[in-house]
Amino acid sequence: MNGSAFKGSVRVGLAVGAALVPAVFCAAAGAAPPGDAGGVTRTVAAARERGCPVVYFDLGETLVHTAADGGIDYRPGAASYLRALRARRVPVGLITNVPPSWGRTDAERAARLRKEVDATWRGPAPFAWKDFGDRVLTPRTEAERKPAPALWQRAKAGSGRCRVVYQAETAEEVRAASALGFLPYQVGRPHRPAFLPVRLVELLGRRSSA
């Protein structure tokens, strides 16, 4: 698949996350207003009772950006954010739409996704695939494509009693994840941190799940 075809197919759910930081706060902290910098802190304070965070992301336009020429690179701050989570041993995963025809299993579809991304990668350092391990969840059928709940349900079931975070760039996905019990965060909003601050993610793990 060429760069433009990848851009079109993956962006159906890769370009999903751009207007909902308020939903993050409403979901776990009781609706902090859009300009309230303390909203993130209250959100995490409410969530930390669950403990042991696992952080899932959408991929396109959340962690990576596809340029007009089809080239792919990290979005600003994404590489350093992943390094910071890695340094703190916070597990990370991807929940992303790709064509179900890319493989019979998540592993096969993830391998194809990696091939497509790597083929058009323009960044100075490769994408940190190793950080995600086997936590790359993709739709097995068209009916499972986000915003259908299946992928988030699978992620939550695989995370045991840990608190699960989901970060994406569009309101629709953030709302859907919130409704399924994730701590949601919309990336890339003006006047807010690009990603849920690592120090706040860490707070989620300070207390074990009840």
| Domains observed in the chain | 3-204 (3.40.50.1000)
Tell me how far apart the alpha carbons of residues 48 and 143 are, in angstroms, rounded to a whole number. 33
pLDDT for the residue 178: 97
- Nearest CA to 164 among 54, 41, 46, 49? 54
pLDDT for the residue 206: 67
Q: What tens digit of pLDDT does each residue of 157-206 get?
A: 999 989 999 999 999 999 999 999 999 999 999 999 999 999 999 887 66
Kindly state the tokens that stand for 154: 């699978």
pLDDT for the residue 52: 87
Q: Is the pLDDT of residue 34 over 60?
A: no
* List of residues 6+ apart from 109 with CB closer than 8 A: 98, 100, 102, 103, 136, 138
Confidence band of 51 (pLDDT split at 50, 70, 90): low
Mean pLDDT of all residues in 44-58: 69
pLDDT for the residue 210: 41
Q: Is the pLDDT of residue 90 over 50?
A: yes
User: Between these two residues, 23 and 182, which has the higher pLDDT value?
Assistant: 182
User: Between these two residues, 51 and 96, which has the higher pLDDT value?
Assistant: 96
Q: What tens digit of pLDDT does each residue of 110-140 get?
A: 999 999 999 999 999 999 999 999 999 999 9
Tell me how far apart the alpha carbons of residues 63 and 74 are, in angstroms, rounded to a whole number. 6
* List of residues 6+ apart from 190 with CB closer than 8 A: none
pLDDT for the residue 30: 32
**CA atoms 185, 191, 194, 197: torsion sign:** negative
Mean pLDDT of all residues in 20-35: 35
- HEC string of 48-115 equals HHHCCCEEEECCECCCEEECCCCCEEECCCHHHHHHHHHHCCCCEEEECCCCHHHCCCHHHHHHHHHH
Q: Are 186 and 200 in contact (CB under 8 A)?
A: no
Predicted structure pTM score: 0.77
